[in-house]
Structure 1
Amino acid sequence: MTQQVQQFAMVQGNITRLLGPEKSAEFIANLLFFISIGSNDIPDHHQYNRTTVSLPQLMAAMQSNFTVQLTNLYNLGAWKFGIIGVPLLGCRPVVWVENLTKSGSGMIYSLENAYYMTYTMLKDPSSFGIKNIEKACCGKGWLNAEKACFINYNLNLCLKRKEFLFWDMYHPIEYASRLAAFALFNKNSSFVTPINFSQLAQASPIKLVLL
């Protein structure tokens, strides 16, 4: 994330040189910045680093770095943040297999409760038209989750993707992602707070950061 923010700083500098400080600040203040962290960091810690770094230390480091980088983005003119929460990581196909063998900065944000969203889909999948919540659509082995969905494997592919929650051993199917996106932009959604992503996109900047 540090590298990505540094890269954005370069882009922001180029935009400022092209448009000038005032128009550049107005342009950037109206962009949506979607941020998702944790979905890889936490599982990787569980698999590789739990003997050297404790989970509380990891979470503290992630929180500290996230705060720093959000502040850096805000100082570069970012104002609208769509923050994606961490889903139920323990219910991905790969884990089934493993188990069995307001901030005060002046910014505006929408926070998605990915955990609750995933829990809702797992609890009542049929209401979303999903029939299989354990097996991956693409992969190899038990639950299609012993080998990744790589073209060089003799893969097993499901015939009806919309009936599956997961595409591969890690990621949700495209249909599930579309349902999630619709929920995040829906004004009556219980999965996003304090405003939904549609309201976030339509919000007018309170102030512009001129660099």
Structure 2
Amino acid sequence: MASLFFFFCQLLLSLGRSFVAGADQVPAMFVFGDSLIDPGNNNQLLTLAKANFRPHGIDFQEGTTGRFCNGGTVADHLGKLFFYILGYQGKRIPMDEQLQNFNATIEELSTMLLDKTQDHIRRSLFLLAPGSNDYINNYLLPLSKRRSKYTPEAFANLLIQQFGRQLKVRQKNSPLLLDNYDKARNSKPFCFGKCQDLYDLGARKFVIANISPIGCIPNQLTAQDSDTGACVESVNLMASHYNRKLKEMVDQYNAQLKESTFLYWDAFSFGINVIQNYANYGNHLNPLKYITKDVKSLMFTKASLVIHDEGFKSQNTACCGGGKWKGQIICLPVLSPCQNRSEYVFWDPYHPTDAFNVIASKDLYQGNLQASFPRNVQQLVQS
């Protein structure tokens, strides 16, 4: 169950300068996820899953970078709401190895930040969005061994157990059992060199995204031979099994790890709402049109904000792809993308458009993700 690991951060000390208003909200943002938020880590890997060619990046300020999108990912747009110029590094590796790499990253930071490293990590934002590829590129494949071995409920349990272990403490029979909680509570709040999970590595501000409605993506509409373009409920039900268990785990961590905050983003409900009411989602801004090319200035200009007055016009057909619903063939250089990309929910058979990602990032940053404080990312980073 490999997934992508990458991080982007803006270190105040390493640049030795002040930032524009808003940048002091969070010193860094570390992102763990899959191709939905990949900035181009697959470029140097021996894999067919690449996006380092046109028309990917056709609307991105820096051009084609390896993002599976016509523009920016949710992480890109969320970072821009902090007024950050984003830089990336990482590769596709198992999550446990990702933690080892992040452990090494903290050691490197400590050489720059010295005794300020712990505070830097504690105040940083950790965005995690795993799970989708475990279904799309594993469990849902026609000849998947996982599917013959595990029921949907059992597979969801397997993923939650693994993810929970990587977030915090080892688990026994139940994916919700924090058997090392007392030990963790009494241990040092920060370490590097031997820690095995993000909490022990110092992370305290988490945003956990659940699996989006993968039964609605063009790839699954094609795979399940949908005639109407309606979401495949059996696939969405699998995602719902995982999402329910993930929410239970997040709630338990919030109750037991008082010094940390785990903010749960219901990407599934958000995606369903956009897809079902796609025509109502207009007036979305495209921040990629106002980031300056002068990276040294670390400033933004809003002079060229683009506002789309009309909502989406296509909620189930990809802008770039081939076959039914354009979900059978991935976006390739020989294929011409749609011209009106801001009117499409999906960019290719698997990934949303820049326009969708703009709306999603605004929901993360300013929406009501939960009833209690912090309600959104903006409140989380300021807490």
TM-score w.r.t. the length of structure 2 is 0.50
C-alpha separation in 1, matches of 2:346 and 2:129: 18
C-alpha separation in 2, matches of 1:54 and 1:100: 22
C-alpha separation in 1, matches of 2:337 and 2:116: 49
Once the two structures are TM-superposed, the CA of residue 55 in structure 1 deviates from its matched residue by 2.3
AA at the equivalent of 2:130: I
Within the alignment, does 1:97 sit opposite 2:194 as a pair?
no
Within the alignment, does 1:64 sit opposite 2:161 as a pair?
yes
Q: Deviations for 1:55-100, whole angstroms, at most 9, x for unmatched residues?
A: 2222112111111111111111111111111111100001111111
C-alpha separation in 2, matches of 1:143 and 1:45: 22
AA at the equivalent of 1:144: K
Once the two structures are TM-superposed, the CA of residue 109 in structure 1 deviates from its matched residue by 2.1
1:126 to 264, 274, 279: 279
Once the two structures are TM-superposed, the CA of residue 53 in structure 1 deviates from its matched residue by 2.8
2:376 to 182, 186, 196: 196
- Aligned to 2:363, the other structure's residue is in SS state helix
Q: Deviations for 1:148-170, whole angstroms, at most 9, x for unmatched residues?
A: 0122xx31311100110000000
C-alpha separation in 2, matches of 1:168 and 1:92: 9
Question: 1:8 maps to what in 2?
Answer: 102
Counterpart contact for 1:139–1:168, Cα < 8 Å:
yes
Question: 1:206 maps to what in 2?
Answer: none
AA at the equivalent of 1:150: L
Question: 1:164 maps to what in 2?
Answer: 344
Within the alignment, does 1:28 sit opposite 2:153 as a pair?
no
Within the alignment, does 1:136 sit opposite 2:318 as a pair?
yes
Question: Gaps (5+ residues) in structure 2?
Answer: 1-94, 169-196, 227-250, 282-310
Structure in which a larger fraction of residues adopt helix: 1
Once the two structures are TM-superposed, the CA of residue 2 in structure 1 deviates from its matched residue by 1.5
Question: 2:213 maps to what in 1?
Answer: 88
Once the two structures are TM-superposed, the CA of residue 174 in structure 1 deviates from its matched residue by 0.6
Within the alignment, does 1:176 sit opposite 2:348 as a pair?
no
Q: Deviations for 1:95-132, whole angstroms, at most 9, x for unmatched residues?
A: 11111173112311211111110111111111111010
AA at the equivalent of 1:6: Q
AA at the equivalent of 1:119: I
C-alpha separation in 1, matches of 2:163 and 2:355: 30
Counterpart contact for 1:136–1:143, Cα < 8 Å:
yes
1:38 to 131, 145, 158: 131
Counterpart contact for 1:144–1:156, Cα < 8 Å:
no
Structure in which a larger fraction of residues adopt strand: 1
Question: 1:54 maps to what in 2?
Answer: 151
C-alpha separation in 1, matches of 2:220 and 2:140: 11
Structure number with higher relative contact order (C-alpha < 8 Å, ≥ 6 residues apart): 1
Question: Gaps (5+ residues) in structure 1?
Answer: 204-211
C-alpha separation in 1, matches of 2:133 and 2:216: 14
Q: Give the stretch that moved more between structures: 41-50 or 116-125.
A: 41-50
TM-score w.r.t. the length of structure 1 is 0.88
C-alpha separation in 1, matches of 2:350 and 2:272: 16
Once the two structures are TM-superposed, the CA of residue 172 in structure 1 deviates from its matched residue by 0.5
The two structures, once aligned, show a CA RMSD in angstroms of 1.5
